[in-house]
Structure 1
Amino acid sequence: MRDACIKMLSEIYTCDIIDANGAFEALLRWSLAYSRSKAVLKLTTANETGFSMEHRSNVTVADLKNTCAKYRHSAAKVIRLQSLSSLQPLVSDLDIDLKVMFLVRDPRALLVSLYGWVRNLTAVNKALERHSGDRSPAENSDYDIPMLNADFVKQYCDWMTLNFEQISNPADWLRGRVKILRHEDISFDPRAKAEEVYDFLKIGIHSDVTQWIQENTNAPLKARYGVMETRRNSKAMVYTWRYRTLFSEVEDVQRICSDAMAVFGYRKLDSLAELRNLSVPTIL
């Protein structure tokens, strides 16, 4: 998995695209890429028809490489990379001017989304069991939600501390290449954090970016937002987990993630009253 991830990143950053069909198939799995990407829309315009798999025979590898090469910067969101050290070949072997935004979130806030995912999956599996009268091992409806929470949170916090150590004591190749971002800081002041990121990258921030931030992080408040919804009230979303989590669960996370919370500046809560009182900060 790690080698495949690094190979994919190297192809993105060097525009070393070798399979046009594969590139198009990947884009079609991500609707935002082909509906909003200026690079993709330019290829679509060249074909004078809508963007679909029918065009894969019309667009060559050379077309994709040339389009990619026109852009000075390339970015990728990576969510399954265990260690920053895995990125070393991109710098040492390919001489890529790599910069990393290392994004973390309060592990206590992850509980709500994890509960929702597991409960939905459990409900589906139980429905399948009732319908078919049988189930495969992969359709196990007897999930132990608290145990899954503990395992998931421990893995996440171990990942946080592992990479914090690499950032705090960086190898020569990593020095000056990583900026830590906390989800909560971005939510409280997305404009300021965006400016920090662009400054770190030594890129001027475009007015389209600041306009998008203004329009999409100050949405009217509502009871619930969709999982993939892009327009939200970012400030209001920061502490919603504090109303949806049991204090006993918070205590468990604080015990499991004590080290991670300390190094990333997350304050522990000592009672149910503190959990529900939003004037009590959770960020140091």
Structure 2
Amino acid sequence: MQLRMLDGISRCEFGGLDKFLTFYLDTRASHFGGMRKSKMLQKLCRKYNSPRGRVCPIPRNVISDRVGEVCRSANFTVVKTIRVDEVKIFRAIAEAGERTGNDVKIIHLVRDPRAVAASRLALQYKNESTFSHSQLNSTKVQNLCKWMLRNVQYRDQVKTWLRERYTLLRFEDIATSPLRVVKKLYEFVGIQPHKAVFRWLKENTNVTGQIKDPYSQRGNLKETANSWRGRLTLSAVENIQETCREAMKLLGYKIVKDERELRNDSISLIAKLDENVIHV
């Protein structure tokens, strides 16, 4: 089902996914409702005389056809997906693209496992500001780092179907230099960026003041990238580092040695990635 959905979205073919589309176009059902995220879908919904409610009124028996038509009117399609178990799931999609002329590119976003752990704990313990090693789920941390290692692609081992299609990107590099990194991303994808992209970055990645919504697209990227350093105790950090040492070394995340290093944000914990890893 995962593969069918990803393949369908990549080709703008939504047959059999009407239940998914009905959910996606209902902002009451999900924080990520497509009806209020996509101007193209909003326009489509208005054609069906949408009432003031938040449900797109396209009849379910035609929704896959109508959304497919809107999708195909665009020059390119972007899919953001989380927790795909292995990058090889994209092989069928990439090889199908070769036959249909659909040029598939895969951008693999990674983040410091210490930051990932802190972010997940913040969602779990909403009323707490700091987290100790006793609150960590060791199995989940171990699985996270095994997953990161499993999906990293190496220059001398990359599969034929992935060549020129795959790149790895660290969240921390975007946080440090958003304009530079986004330019490189667009070069990789082969699309000329619109000036509105850079205007949006300037307006939304260096916001002052507290953003309460954990899913907000606005914020201060540098502060977000370092926020885990004030939320995890040293013992929690040491626990994650011990479990994730191999992944952290490969991806250029420096080990914290003491409390001073942990709390001093002027000390960078980001080094160069391993030169054998394919990255932006």
Determine if the TM-score, normalized by the shorter chain, exceeds 0.5.
Answer: yes
Give the fraction of aligned pairs with identical amino acids, expressed as a percent.
28
Residues 115 and 228 of structure 2 are in contact (CA less than 8 Å); yes or no, is this contact kept in structure 1? yes
What is the rounded CA distance, in whole Å, between the counterparts of 2:172 and 2:161 in structure 1?
Answer: 29
1:182-261 → structure 2 map (5 Å cutoff): 182-222=170-210, 225-261=212-248
Q: Which is higher, the Rg of structure 1 or of structure 2?
A: 1
Equivalent position SS for 1:181? strand
Equivalent position SS for 1:192? helix
Matched, 1:36 2:37: yes
1:120-159 → structure 2 map (5 Å cutoff): 120=126, 146=134, 148-159=136-147
Residues 20 and 64 of structure 1 are in contact (CA less than 8 Å); yes or no, is this contact kept in structure 2? no
Specify which of 17, 22, 25 is matched with residue 23 of structure 2.
25
What is the rounded CA distance, in whole Å, between the counterparts of 2:224 and 2:171 in structure 1?
Answer: 11
- Residues 55 and 160 of structure 1, relative CA distance in 2, 3 Å threshold: same
Residues 48 and 57 of structure 2 are in contact (CA less than 8 Å); yes or no, is this contact kept in structure 1? no
Match of 2:116 in 1: 110
Specify which of 101, 107, 123 is matched with residue 101 of structure 1.
107
What is the rounded CA distance, in whole Å, between the counterparts of 1:86 and 1:167 in structure 2?
Answer: 19
- Residues 62 and 277 of structure 1, relative CA distance in 2, 3 Å threshold: closer
- Residues 55 and 170 of structure 1, relative CA distance in 2, 3 Å threshold: same
Residues 256 and 262 of structure 2 are in contact (CA less than 8 Å); yes or no, is this contact kept in structure 1? yes
What is the rounded CA distance, in whole Å, between the counterparts of 1:252 and 1:153 in structure 2?
Answer: 9
What is the rounded CA distance, in whole Å, between the counterparts of 1:62 and 1:117 in structure 2?
Answer: 37
Corresponding letter in the other structure for 1:153? V
For structure 1, the residue ranges without an aligned partner over 5 or more in a row are 122-143
Q: Provide TM-score, normalisation by structure 2.
A: 0.83
Matched, 1:9 2:6: yes
Residues 17 and 65 of structure 1 are in contact (CA less than 8 Å); yes or no, is this contact kept in structure 2? yes
RMSD: 2.5
- CA shift digits 1:213-235 (9 cap, x unpaired): 1111121133x632122221112
Residues 21 and 56 of structure 1 are in contact (CA less than 8 Å); yes or no, is this contact kept in structure 2? no
Match of 2:148 in 1: 160
What is the rounded CA distance, in whole Å, between the counterparts of 2:35 and 2:187 in structure 1?
Answer: 28
Deviation (angstroms), 1:120: 4.9
- CA shift digits 1:127-178 (9 cap, x unpaired): xxxxxxxxxxxxxxxxx97375321211111111111146662110011111
- CA shift digits 1:28-48 (9 cap, x unpaired): 235552123122022123224
- Residues 239 and 203 of structure 1, relative CA distance in 2, 3 Å threshold: same
Matched, 1:75 2:78: yes
Specify which of 69, 88, 91 is matched with residue 88 of structure 1.
91
Q: Provide TM-score, normalisation by structure 1.
A: 0.82
What is the rounded CA distance, in whole Å, between the counterparts of 2:116 and 2:64 in structure 1?
Answer: 40
- Residues 30 and 280 of structure 1, relative CA distance in 2, 3 Å threshold: closer
Match of 2:48 in 1: 47
Corresponding letter in the other structure for 1:68? C
Residues 107 and 157 of structure 1 are in contact (CA less than 8 Å); yes or no, is this contact kept in structure 2? yes
- CA shift digits 1:14-73 (9 cap, x unpaired): 121214742232222355521231220221232243462433259554322221111121
Comparing 25-34 and 9-18, the one that deviates more = 25-34
